[in-house]
Structure 1
Amino acid sequence: MILAGGVVETGGKIIKGGEALDAMLEELELVMLEADMGRASIEEVITALRNELVGNRLRKGADLSKVVEASLKRALRTLLSAGYWDFDATVDSLLESGDLPVVIMMVGVNGTGKTTTTAKIAYRLKNKGRKVVLAASDTFRAGAIDQLEIHAERLDIRCISSQRGGDAAAIARDAIEHAKARKMDVVIVDTAGRMQNKLNLMEELRKVHRVTKPHLVLFVGDALAGNDAVEQAKEFQRMLKFDGAVLCKLDTDAKGGAALSIAHATDKPIVLAGVGQEYDDLKQFDPDWLIEEVFT
């Protein structure tokens, strides 16, 4: 953990554990709880912060409470920045490598905005001049197939689909073959997210993953779901390792604790943020913006 500038190696008062420090840490713990950050993540961050501070020296004239808060902000920034990768630059790099089409697999629980996020990513890539194909591999819900087909029509993008109950992996494979034959750039695979039957879901997702060999797997979470979003992320990480997360509804969630907890619980970065209903309301995730929101 990187401590703030008020800590010096020599001279100054030694920071000791005790009531004063405890009170400051409790106050910061409350800030993170109010931001909907998971208790396990908070405890680990606070414990690490306490261990780093106690025994260090405080620069003459420095305010301990400000040093503690600044140190926590740095710790959270480090947490959000760990393993961070740029979505656009990563896709560009994969395209340049020539292994086409680039396959992006979308995973997450139904109702989190996964299908809409799939359309937003397709829009983002199309605007950059990429030729995109969608695969409607959430065959469990007829509504999901219809929804993706409507988005594809609006965006003038091809969507490969079948009737409800079709073979999710076969649809994804057909989309990849379609893209290869027509020299398309990217295939985005929308998958099922029903959590009622985890065993069947896990088998289906693993089969889709095995067949498509995706370059990137993105978990889609709902910022408003708080700790539920964290549990979902951990569940999908157990089922199928993902490379990064997209957090939806960040425009309505000024708290941001779900992002901090997902990054902490899965060791995977938040790479994109959904900030509205329009197709262009998908932004590169900014850790600094989120931390400022938490402490505002």
Structure 2
Amino acid sequence: MFDGLKDKLSSFREDAAEEVEEKAEEADAEAAEVDAAADIDADATAEAAPDEAASTDPAEGEPADDESAGPGRLKRAAAFATGKVIIEEEDLEEPLQDLELALLSSDVEMSVADRILETVREKMLGETRAQVQTTDQLVTEALHDALLDVISVGQFDFEERIAEADKPVTVVFTGVNGVGKTTTIAKLSEWLDERGYSSVLANGDTYRAGANEQIREHAEALDRKLIAHEQGGDPAAVIYDGVEYAEANDIDVVLGDTAGRLHTSNDLMAQLEKIDRVVDPDMTLFVDEAVAGQDAVKRAQEFDDAAAIDGSVLTKADADSSGGAAISIAYVTGKPILFLGVGQGYDDLRRFDPEELVDELLAEE
């Protein structure tokens, strides 16, 4: 999962660490040359006029640092010689350009890529840190913090929210056609069941031919109750009936499907508004495919603007090499990714853990 992005991040870490080491070693060599030249000059001065040399005030003599070594080069070399590294702008310029291209080519949204670059730069420039292991560790720590900063925006514990909420908890799913909303509902029903929560499915996708049959197959396979009306019925009424059934039968969670729509579909967006008024769901989750990349990010933002989503679920994450949607959606919408679909089975739903994902992306092979 996200192997392409992982490889690109690994390349950046190697290149940045190598660049820093090379520049520090160059500074060390320059400082050695300056010191050698200073020693020769000092010896010559001492031989010519030992008394005058001994009485010279350093403040009135030559500057302590040779300007040819560049600003701060002697300080940097001294730090490197004692097992420390000082990161300068020139060290990061080329690696950061490569990182930007790597992120954009992995479908990371532009503002998200900019934020990652800015954070890496802020955390590394001017830093003097002991080389506990290698310079790669410095780069890895900065990249870890930068990725976590954008991925973990708005994150909350879904199971904790279910546990603490008054029952039944109503969760409505929205998104465009064909991205796996209905299958995701079935997977989440199984995920809840494994944790001791009962659920009922409500088919608010009342306009698509075959929608009732599709969700019914899942309900029967999982032995769940399905609330459904005839095709063309009122989606809000279906989900409302699901809530009433849950209240009457002590069901913990109502999982409501809705018709696939674009944010520009006025009639379908009006349906969501009506569901909000009639049902007042506890959560509205946006579902899209991880492989859709920046298209998924754009749609998430548009749906959030139109219908105020509470979080996202990305399907087909196991087939996504780029990772752009997983990196970008939370930062762009301010709403977290809660789950990843990672296979075809009912148990192939993985809770989204930002820290775990970042560790995975930066793990050594």
1:293 Cα deviation from its structure 2 partner: 5.0
Residue among 222, 225, 230 paired with 1:155: 222
Who is 1:73 aligned against?
A: 144
Show the 5 A alignment for 1:250-289.
250-289=317-356
Who is 1:57 aligned against?
A: 127
Scaled by the length of structure 1, what TM-score is found? Answer: 0.86
1:272 Cα deviation from its structure 2 partner: 1.1
1:289 Cα deviation from its structure 2 partner: 4.1
The range that moved more, 238-247 or 194-203, is 194-203
1:17 aligns with 2:89: yes
The code of the aligned residue for 2:310 comes to D
How many Å separate the matches in 2 of 1:60 and 1:294?
Answer: 25
The code of the aligned residue for 2:349 comes to L
Scaled by the length of structure 2, what TM-score is found? Answer: 0.71
Who is 1:3 aligned against?
A: none
1:135 Cα deviation from its structure 2 partner: 0.9
How many Å separate the matches in 2 of 1:216 and 1:203?
Answer: 17
Contact 1:137 1:161 in 2 (8 A): yes
Show the 5 A alignment for 1:61-140.
61=131, 67-94=138-165, 99-140=166-207
How many Å separate the matches in 1 of 2:239 and 2:249?
Answer: 16
> What's the secondary structure of 2:201's corresponding residue?
strand
Residue among 187, 194, 198 paired with 2:261: 194
User: Deviation string for 1:118-144 (max 9, x for gaps)?
Assistant: 011111222333331111001121232
1:196 Cα deviation from its structure 2 partner: 7.6
Query: In the comparison of the two structures, how many residue pairs are matched?
Result: 281
How many Å separate the matches in 2 of 1:183 and 1:232?
Answer: 35
Who is 2:247 aligned against?
A: 180
Who is 2:111 aligned against?
A: 40
1:24 Cα deviation from its structure 2 partner: 1.4
Q: 1:66 to 1:33 in 2, by over 3 A?
A: farther
User: Deviation string for 1:82-103 (max 9, x for gaps)?
Assistant: 3322222221222xxxx22111
How many Å separate the matches in 2 of 1:166 and 1:23?
Answer: 59
The code of the aligned residue for 2:236 comes to A
The code of the aligned residue for 1:239 comes to A
1:177 Cα deviation from its structure 2 partner: 1.2
In the alignment, structure 2 segments of 5+ residues that lack a partner are: 1-19, 21-78
More helix by share: 2
Who is 1:291 aligned against?
A: 358
Contact 1:255 1:293 in 2 (8 A): no
How many Å separate the matches in 2 of 1:279 and 1:206?
Answer: 30
Q: 1:164 to 1:171 in 2, by over 3 A?
A: same
How many Å separate the matches in 1 of 2:129 and 2:227?
Answer: 63
How many Å separate the matches in 2 of 1:139 and 1:199?
Answer: 16
User: Deviation string for 1:67-119 (max 9, x for gaps)?
Assistant: 3443122111132223322222221222xxxx221111111111111110001
Who is 2:236 aligned against?
A: 169
User: Deviation string for 1:219-248 (max 9, x for gaps)?
Assistant: 112100000100110011111222221111
> What's the secondary structure of 2:89's corresponding residue?
coil
1:66 Cα deviation from its structure 2 partner: 5.1
The code of the aligned residue for 2:297 comes to V
> What's the secondary structure of 2:230's corresponding residue?
coil
Give the share of equivalent positions with the same residue, in percent: 42
How many Å separate the matches in 1 of 2:127 and 2:345?
Answer: 50
How many Å separate the matches in 2 of 1:163 and 1:102?
Answer: 25
1:13 Cα deviation from its structure 2 partner: 6.3
> What's the secondary structure of 1:59's corresponding residue?
strand
User: Deviation string for 1:125-178 (max 9, x for gaps)?
Assistant: 223333311110011212322211111111111111122221111111111112
1:14 Cα deviation from its structure 2 partner: 5.3
Q: 1:61 to 1:139 in 2, by over 3 A?
A: same
Q: 1:196 to 1:21 in 2, by over 3 A?
A: closer
The code of the aligned residue for 1:256 comes to G
